[in-house]
A and B are shown apart, each in its own frame.
Chain A
Amino acid sequence: MNEKFENFKNKILSFLFKIFSPILGKQAISKENRFAIELDDEGIRICKYNQNSKIITNLHHEKFNLAGNTSLFSEEDQVYYSQKIVQILKEQKLLEKEATVILPTSETIIKTINIPLMDQETFDLQTSDIEFWKTFEELSDVIENKVFSFQPLAINEETQEQEIVICLIDREKVEKLNQILRQSGVKPTIYEPKCFSLINTIFANQKNNKSNEFAFLEYGEKENYLITVTQNKFVFAINNISRADIILIKQLEKMPDPSGPFWSEVFERSIQDVRGNLMDDEWKGNEEKTTVFRNLYAHTDLEESEKYLNGLQSKLPDFTIKSLTLDNSKSDESKFENIFTNKKIKFSKQLVKKINEDNFLEDKLHPVIGASLRLLNPFNIKENLFLKFKQNLYPYKDQLINNRKIQATSGSLSMVLMLLLLIFSTIIGLNIPKYLEKNQLLASHPALVKEYNSLMEEIKTSSSKVKKIEKEKELAEKLIVKTDNFSKIIIETPQIVPTGVELQKVDYIKNDSVVFYEGYALTDYDLNLFLKNIKNKIGNPDITNLSLAEFTETVDIINEGSEDVQQIIPSSADVLKLRNFKIKVEL
């Protein structure tokens, strides 16, 4: 179960690494602030290439000039060496910085082996086990107590094999050097065999990838070897030149005319071990099996070597021999590979000024320039400069790469965490007041709705109550307001009846809204006045009946003391002629 979980976790992690490697790799590279150092008993060479500005800012070489037979690896001398290195690094402002350390090629074992083709996961798993390497005959005897580094180069589809370049060095030696350097304020993280530093310089200086196939010859008092590089093959071959021939080669430069069979033999002997490599089928062009003209770069620790190279050129006419140089005056591209004039790798203005003033550059600085271009590159992402060989013999490189990966991941995760925290905090911070406001709105909404509804209910009830009362009131008013015309008529009547009018009957009919007056008027005048008063006070009068009526008033005379009543008949003058009327009044 645990194993399954572990596998699952690893798959997830490798998937995540695959996705995020370019970003993490860039971050890891941007933090690399390193320089290259080459150290031997006699002196120190330093170069710093700024990866961001892509400029060489420091290029320094200094001889220790220590008296007597001193050695860097001697216990007694180490302190003095350290102090000297510290002083130089302080001056160069490179103390305690990371470094790429150049190891002498002669101290390393460089081999090319073919392993069966396998997928990346299996390859990673297998190559991490030293027992895997021990199965190869070429390595089984030499791998014990060694620090080794390997680099897959090319895949041969026909043979289903993969070519691997392996470098080995005594663990004790490199650990000792590591200790000395750390005591001297150098923090080594890459140990590179010198030959690869030189080859990488050539690679970095190439104008195009087509010229990435070449041979490289190192000769001199300390190291003699030949490397041939093609797209699919890397061959390292030791070139054994006898001490006597080295002396002769040195002497050659002082000779006025180095022609003749003697020198021809010296030239031939100096390359006899590696001539086979140069003529190898692999090294020949495919077209008509003829050797293709290629560049052969040469580098030496000898002071002068022009005549020897001329002689060598005569022995190897199929090659263009180019000497690696940093001399301004040697600008002929057919003869020299000059980094300084090539302008591919730029130097800082201060450095150019210093170089021009002191003319201090020497060819020995070539390796340190190449090494300064190296990066640890823990995520193995594509780099700006094309450096084909990335060997690292640092004994703790696995831990270092692992730690760098963890640190870069940690830094990125911290940054992401902080960034997310900042973004989220900002978003939440901006939204919180709004949220609180809206949340309060939502929380208070039901209460508000309840209050609103109860208010509406109250208003509705009150309104309906008012309406109901109003309706009741309206009804009551309707029953009350109706004017009782009759009371008006009765009240007004005494005022409208003139003295010459006597009413006999008043008839009020409510439903018809009429009132009839019946009676007598003494004169027309009285009647008219009555009509006028009616019109003014009651309504429109209409005489429905008018007739004359004569009234004879009999007078009963009662004599005193007698019970007899004597009736006196009035004369015609005593007869009253009255107007009998009936008036209809519309109310």
Chain B
Amino acid sequence: MQHIQLGAIDYTILIVYFAFVLGIGWVLRRSVKSSEDFFLSGRSIPAWIAGLAFLSANLGAQEVIGMGASGAKYGMMTSHFYWLGAIPAMVFVGIFMMPFYYGSRARSVPEYLKLRFDEKTRGFNAVSFAVMTVFSSGISMYALAKLLELLLGWSFHTSVALSAVVVLAYIFLGGLTSAIYNEVLQFFLIVLGFLPLVLLGLKDVGGWAGLTAKLQTVATNAGFAPGAWSASWRHLNAASANPMGVEWFGLVMGLGFVLSFGYWCTDFLVVQRAMAADSMTAARRTPLLAAFPKMLFPALVILPGMIAIALHVTRGGLLPIGSDGVPNYNLAVPVMLAHYLPSGLLGLGLTALMASFMSGMAGNVTAFNTVWTYDIYQSYIRPGRSDGHYLRMGHAATVFGILLSVAAAYATTRFNNIMDMLQLVFAFVNAPLFATFLLGMFWRRTTGHGAFFGLLIGTAAAAIHHGLVLPYGAVPGLKGGFLGTVLHTYSSEMAQNFWTAIFAWTACFVATILISLLTRRNKSDDDLKGLVYALTPRLTDHDLPWYKRPATLGAVVLGLTLVLNVIFW
């Protein structure tokens, strides 16, 4: 692939952006006086800022590059990740879960698990989460460096060093506040950087009508019904009728319920942003306010991929073809940037792309340093020290968190399989987690042993299911079937993942209930005040104007999402 030539103006935009990012860290360094300031922004962030950061922290490489790639590969069905997956889960976490997270004054998700269950459940979650965040941030760094190498011809080392130093500097200086402020900046940059691309692309293909007409060719060429790339629900009756290879039940339960709720409700990376909010109402409104822009994100991240595949098929040769003869979908968005944007806006678009990678990295690093310091260091290594001691540890954790991410990025260049394997293991650990939280928050009889062993059994169920099934056309190994016999073949990897999650969740749910009934309660009703639904006083929000009430906001969000689903049915 030919390298993109950047002009002086493009470099200037990039440099100005870096100056602002570092400047924000520099200005905020004075506001960090205690560990609570560093890790939780002193719980002083207004709802709208926390909401945009909530979105942005998740807006890493995975979203911008990955959703564009999925838009090209699966078309409009990719919107399920938003309108079926993310949005309902965000409403749920805002209305039902935030009262316990924020109200318990827990400083992290693992700490909530300790308050609600016991030490071992917290330890398990803290350690697996810490390892996972370091690797996710390493993967982000790796993906960014690879992309810049391919697009601009920059050396891999330069890109890794640059992103590591910038992210390190602004988190080290200003802690979570700095990360959050930069995430808000990055949010607007991503919107303003990608929107012209979408508008130009749409104009080029002849609007939505022109796009659907071209996507019919894409669909029929691939052997599907003509509308398969431009409808979200219509072709879900059978897994063989749509490019994603899933049927509606696996999609709704696997993606819509287990995976999305598991991610948005239990992942400390996003929950941390809401915990930093300045009041209970603000914490509850954080995910709800985030849901409004999130709802429109498919237009920004999925649409470019759909336009790219439409142009690739009807005009020929837009996307580079990989060695396996399949277009390289991951390049859909970068190729579109180079295709439409002239010098000037190209700089803005590339800066937005980098911003998205860096916000993803920073989100992981801030979550890592908090969980490491509070849940591992303060709990097991050096308890009972002064707050200043833990603040210094937070700074140190930021440095070695970044160093470990760099190491992970380089490990990926050597052993691609190790990273795939780790991601698989983490998927097994994460899939059942939502069952534990659901039972913990709504059933006071759930015991510490029940939660811990339920989680282990759920994780094992995920691994066993994965080991006994294969996606269509894959060989036994990392893709599944490693237990020797293949009991079932799914029509796609996506379908396999959804069902692994469903099995893991169900196993954890059932096992936690059974073990809880067989073991003695380790927390009395008094201990569980503020941690369990039935034992927490109902929050009243009648003193708020209607548009600020979480329940009203949630209903509006869900209503609008339903409308979007119907429009693009």
Do A and B actually bind? no
Enumerate chain A interface residues (CB-CB to B < 8 A).
none
Enumerate chain B interface residues (CB-CB to A < 8 A).
none
